[in-house]
Structure 1
Amino acid sequence: MSTILKTENINKFFYDPIEFQVLKDISFEVKKGEFLSMIGKSGSGKSTLLYVLSTMDTDYKGKLHIDNQLVTDLSVDQLAAIRNEKIGFVFQFHYLLSEFSCLKNVMLPALKLGRLNHEEIEHKAYEKLKILGLEDQALKPANKLSGGQQQRVAIARALINDPLLIMGDEPTGNLDSKNTQIVFDIFQELTKNYGQTIIAVTHDDDFAKRSDRIIEMKDGEVI
């Protein structure tokens, strides 16, 4: 399997109020189609690491490769382009635009990327909503959906540009057990049937145990 993401000796310090090392020599690889969970207590560094992996945080020592490209030291614009094209994000809160329809919310990253025309993007957005069992809700305003449905729309939005990687920051943190199960099953289907690669930070041990691989962090190190 090809390697989608690779870190080499990632170190990161916070300097406020005093110097504190938050990530210590993090080195690992993520293969295509892998469903990886990152776990650890609050303050273990897992969310900080996710922000480094997602290229949003560039203030670190070491090397980060995405899709066999060294992305460390690229410009802000180059990194924004990589995020737009290669990374889909699912957060604890769905961050949908409530007054827009589900369809429009899903279309937004593709409109921003600007590779396809409006009609093609709309068709693709319907396809992604279909995978998530929401095509019948496409034209509803996002705020008329349940919390679980909104999170599924957010996953469809993360998928619209066919990213190499989906990164989730507590993607089920706001959901009840039934909807957590639905989101987990969707993630599993995406990796098994669509070859999607997923890295998710989670506090949910059951969620983590059922993913393909767990990276556990403690005091800034992978243990």
Structure 2
Amino acid sequence: MQVLKAHKVTKYFYEPEKFQVLKAIDLSVSKGEFLSLVGKSGCGKSTLLYVLSTMDTDYEGELEIAGQRLTGKDQNQLSKFRNAHIGFVFQFHYLLPEFSVLQNVMIPALKLARYSPHEIEERAYEKLTMLGVQEQALKPSNKLSGGQQQRVAIARALINDPDIIMGDEPTGNLDSYNTHVVFDIFNELTQRYKQTIIAVTHDEEFAKKSDRIVEMSDGKIVS
């Protein structure tokens, strides 16, 4: 079952002059697939991820996620869609330092309001337990190590049971040990929970162990 379809996605940058950064990209991603987007800096992979994540709407072509056509929807509709259907894990964890680990994980679910606050707290504990950081739940997020913070960021990405987790260099800020930990977490999420993951990475070893590598060069998918 396909969870994401992009058809003829084309994008231009206009500063300092017109430049085509994505060239008629076709991409389909199946449910439960762990896909790595790779290529040299400037090849367009992060730009493609931002289009696929609906955060960048200035493109030509078609985008469909979870059976919904997203091209042409307004920012308000897309914001709601992202919160319900897409989880994000970035190179930097972007946890709010003044909040506890538990509160950070709960934020997207409180915003979605699909469950009661009590149920959301229970679900947040579930995700933290799954990622082995439940003992840290009541600590301020800035008191955790980098590896722990990234695990909390993954728990936050999972809280609304998204159709896709999108990672932009999710291990780019981690040492080799924590890179392996994050990879193993992603691998288990796809194998055991059929979670779909699309990750932009420069880490060849990380990419090689994922289910599929999509390589980009000069704004096109080359393999």
Q: Which amino acid aligns with 1:7?
A: A
Is 1:98–2:100 an aligned residue pair? Answer: no
Aligned-partner Cα distance in 2 for 1:59–1:184: 32
Aligned-partner Cα distance in 1 for 2:73–2:100: 35
Q: Which amino acid aligns with 2:38?
A: I
Alignment correspondent of 1:129: 128
Alignment correspondent of 1:12: 11
Is 1:153–2:152 an aligned residue pair? Answer: yes
Aligned-partner Cα distance in 1 for 2:77–2:131: 31
Alignment correspondent of 1:86: 85
Residues 64-121 of structure 1 deviation map (CA, whole Å, 9 limit, x = unaligned): 0101111100111111111010000000000001121110100000011111111000
**For 2:103, what is the secondary structure of its paired residue?**
helix
Alignment correspondent of 2:64: 65
User: Could you state the TM-score of these two structures normalised by the residue count of structure 1?
Assistant: 0.99
Q: CA deviation at 1:143?
A: 0.8
Is 1:118–2:117 an aligned residue pair? Answer: yes
Q: CA RMSD in A?
A: 0.5
**For 2:89, what is the secondary structure of its paired residue?**
strand
Q: Which amino acid aligns with 2:78?
A: L
Alignment correspondent of 1:203: 202
Alignment correspondent of 1:33: 32
Report the identity percentage.
Answer: 68
Aligned-partner Cα distance in 2 for 1:119–1:140: 19
Q: Which runs of 5+ in 1 are unaligned?
A: none
Q: CA deviation at 1:17?
A: 1.1
Alignment correspondent of 2:45: 46
Alignment correspondent of 2:181: 182
Count of matched residue positions in the alignment of Structure 1 and Structure 2: 222
Aligned-partner Cα distance in 1 for 2:68–2:122: 31
Residues 21-56 of structure 1 deviation map (CA, whole Å, 9 limit, x = unaligned): 000010010000000000011100000000000000
Aligned-partner Cα distance in 1 for 2:197–2:158: 11
User: Could you state the TM-score of these two structures normalised by the residue count of structure 2?
Assistant: 0.99
Residues 179-217 of structure 1 deviation map (CA, whole Å, 9 limit, x = unaligned): 000000000000000010000000000000000000100
Q: CA deviation at 1:136?
A: 1.0
Aligned-partner Cα distance in 2 for 1:69–1:142: 35
**For 1:168, what is the secondary structure of its paired residue?**
strand
Aligned-partner Cα distance in 1 for 2:142–2:10: 41
4+ residue runs of structure 1 moved beyond 6 angstroms?
none
